[in-house]
Chains A and B, each alone.
Chain A
Amino acid sequence: MLLSALRHRLRERPPLPPVPPPASAPPRPPFAFSPRRLRLGPQHPLLEDGDVQRHLYLREALTGRAEEAERPRVSEFYCHISGCSQVFDTLEGYEHHYNALHRNVCSFCRRSFPSGHLLDIHISEWHDSLFQIMAEKQNMYKCLVEGCVEKFKSSKDRKDHLVTVHLYPADFRFDRPKKAKSGAKHVSCPTDHDGSVLMDVSVETSEQLQADHMEVVPSESMEVPQPAASPSLPEKRLYKSRIPSTICFGQGATRGFKGPRKKV
């Protein structure tokens, strides 16, 4: 049969002759056929071949972006955010940098958040002067999990909720109550008594790498010049990293700051 004729029918729909009236009769033994629409469950043998093809595809598919070294180069440019001096020569590198570091930044304290949801919560808890007043009368601490509408009396209650209801880790990084402005380099899980604490500390002190994501405070940041790429690295990297100062989230010392609420 001609594929072209069929293709035509997919677009044009020439009229069909009238449908003759059906005249069915029930099956007479020993014959048993009667028309049936069939529902196939996920394990039906008829679907085996298709499932096999699907899984071959999943296993063989290699999804990937171009290697960084192969990405189209643009002439080097600096991040335009004031105070940030990182240099890029690929748009992808910049895109990730911008979104990770500058996208959800608190305009009051310059802390950076992984999501708009966490930033919103931060702003109201840290910078909204009404928040504390309201919190004395009603539950104001919103759950950090998107889609959960629970509110709590304190950040402590929220933590309990996160751990018991949402099965979050007890040391969830984005829910550390702020202790003091200078606090902070020490990040450890209270249950750790072994080398991993040391490891964590060394991670964060040796390079002043702030393992927490929360904040970038220009005034307190220091720049760590990174060496030009070693010969084994194909791409040239001029890297100046901003060092966030403190680990903080939740109710905090700078609360009460007054000013227009705006998001970056």
Chain B
Amino acid sequence: MWGRRRGAGPGGGAEELRARRREREAALRKARREQQLVSKRLLREDEAERGHDGAGDAAEAVLEPVLQGEVSELLRGVQRGSEDRRRWLRCLRRALQSKETQQEFVRLDGAVRTLVGLFTCSLPDVQLEAARCLHELSHSSDAAVAEACVPVTSYLLTYLSGHSIELMELCLYTLGNLVVESEVVRKKLLPQGIIPVLASCIQSPHEAVLEGLGYVLSQLLQAKEAPAEIIPLVLDSVLPQHMLRLVCSGLKFGTGAAVEFAWCLHYIVCSHTANVELMSLGAVPALTSLLCDIAFEISQSDSEGLELLICPVLRCLGNLLAEETGHEVQPQDERLLVALFVVMQCYLQQHPFIIPESLWLINNLTADEPFFCSALLSMDLLPALLQLLPHSQTVSVLVLTVLCNIAEKGPAYCQQLHQQAALPLLLHVLMVPDPEVVGQCLELLHLLFLHWPQVAVDFVRQGGHQTLEQHQSTPELQERVRALLDMALQPQDASVFSSPSAASSTFSQMM
């Protein structure tokens, strides 16, 4: 199942594909900043219908719109009820891949009603074909088209209590697409009983059904009204325990479903309304052990697509461990730290987006737990951490913050940081023209100087004070630079290590 998706097809050079992907990413970023980021999934039958552009949005793989008047011809064919109704439906379904045709179709009198009638009829293959037509409509980028399908929601839910896998899958992806259309749709689905239906559906043994169900739920949980209106209903059902179970079995069974449910958990966790419940289900140790298994897996083979499972799992752990009671449920298991370093090392080139999120989780582990600080040092993970320093501004700040967490634990920790040659890299960081990065580096140097004065001595010996002086004119750094220079130079004979001009400028400013 997992392998069947993301068929990369021919078309365009690699450079061109990359450029188009960047364009798409930029559009998504913009939508996210405007809080408009919603997406739909497409369930289609055959390769031929999917277009040939592997990098394209699924929605773009469409046929040409049919000619004016042909849509009503198709509808009449479907309504006529001749023996080849199913063939007409098939033509209609293909035609409905075009947005213009969709728009024309839903405006036709009785068109959606006809589809709903056939969708609920007792001829199994007519029913399936009608379901596919409705699914194409639900996937439309035109909200008016998708909303025309809203009368079908009660039937979509009814068939989810049935047993036909193929039909259930279609119902689920159609529902998932409709869910993000508007709050009006969701306000209708909740009283229609979507949560209890999903709760009984989640006990299905079929991977395809579970993945579709996870998709619906993730769409629901992303809604802005979810924390107040949807998450409480989900928590009152059996869904959370099953979601957790399915996420955690994601390596052995149903990776696609695990990805969907992991995103569901992420949306619940970051709503900050249900974390006590999730922790009482054992989410922290369960997800920790999953992350270790995934890390083991990716360290020995290319497992395409696992980054989309890792990402929400990391986020859940990060936010759960940030809870007041987070550290109480946190197992003192250094493998979590190891797993994070494995993930960062494996994905640094291919999926760099995973790096800041991993570092954020490492921050949450090391902030209050000497155990993880000590484990990081004693397992020789420091070089891998320091290597990340030049990666990007965000990453640098996060790495320095983790180092601060460690240094803050006192002399024994600072001594080890010093022994493991952190200082030369910090001197490089001081040359970065970014006040936020340098500022964090100053905090770190301060902790090191404070707890392990030998660092200050070596700092001056390596000329660090000269680099520092360059930042004296930066307003947000000034004070700290001065204080650090003071600390570094005070116990020593300043004239030995520093140029007279530097020393005098320092003193003159102190006056």
Contact = CB atoms under 8 A, between A and B. Distances in A.
Interface in B117-133: 117-118, 120-128
B65 interface: no
Interface residues of B, number: 153
A180 interface: no
B188 A167 contact: yes
A75 B128 CA distance: 23
Interface in B400-416: 404-405, 408-413
Contact of B164 (A99, A173, A196): A99
Nearest to B370: A22
Most buried by A among B114, B123, B335, B480: B123
Contacts of A160: none
B6 to A, nearest CB: 6
Interface in B371-412: 371, 373-375, 378-381, 383-384, 394, 404-405, 408-412
Interface residues of A, number: 113
Contacts of A64: 4, 43-46, 50
Given A53-B311, A114-B162, A196 B109 contact: yes
Contact of A55 (B39, B56, B85, B208): B39
A115 B164 CA distance: 10
Contacts of A118: 158, 161
Interface stretch (B291-299, B420-428, B488-496, B503-511): B291-299
B152 to A, nearest CB: 9
Interface string A83-112: 000000000110111011101100000001
Given A3-B342, A173-B120, A226-B83, A40 B308 contact: no
B165 interface: yes
B77 interface: no
Interface in A203-234: 203-204, 206-207, 209-216, 224, 226-227, 230, 232-233
Interface string A57-72: 1111111111111100
A41 interface: yes
A60 B81 contact: no
Nearest to B478: A30
Contacts of A230: 84, 87
Contacts of B40: 58-59
B370 A37 contact: no
B122 A54 contact: no
Interface stretch (B66-74, B192-200, B455-463, B465-473): B192-200
A56 B25 contact: yes
A202 B80 contact: yes
B497 to A, nearest CB: 22
Contact of B379 (A9, A59, A216): A9
Most buried by A among B58, B121, B346: B121
A38 to B, nearest CB: 6
A147 B197 contact: yes
A199 B120 contact: no
A212 B120 contact: yes
B122 A19 contact: no
Interface of A: 1, 3, 5-7, 9-11, 13, 16-17, 19-25, 30-43, 46-70, 92-93, 95-97, 99-101, 103-104, 112, 114-118, 145-148, 165-169, 172-174, 187, 194-196, 199-200, 202-204, 206-207, 209-216, 224, 226-227, 230, 232-233, 241-242, 244
Given A53-B311, A213-B121, 7 more contacts: A37-B367, A42-B270, A48-B29, A62-B50, A95-B164, A145-B192, A232-B87
15 contacts: A20-B370, A20-B409, A20-B413, A31-B443, A49-B352, A56-B24, A59-B41, A60-B55, A67-B46, A99-B167, A147-B200, A166-B192, A212-B121, A242-B122, A244-B122
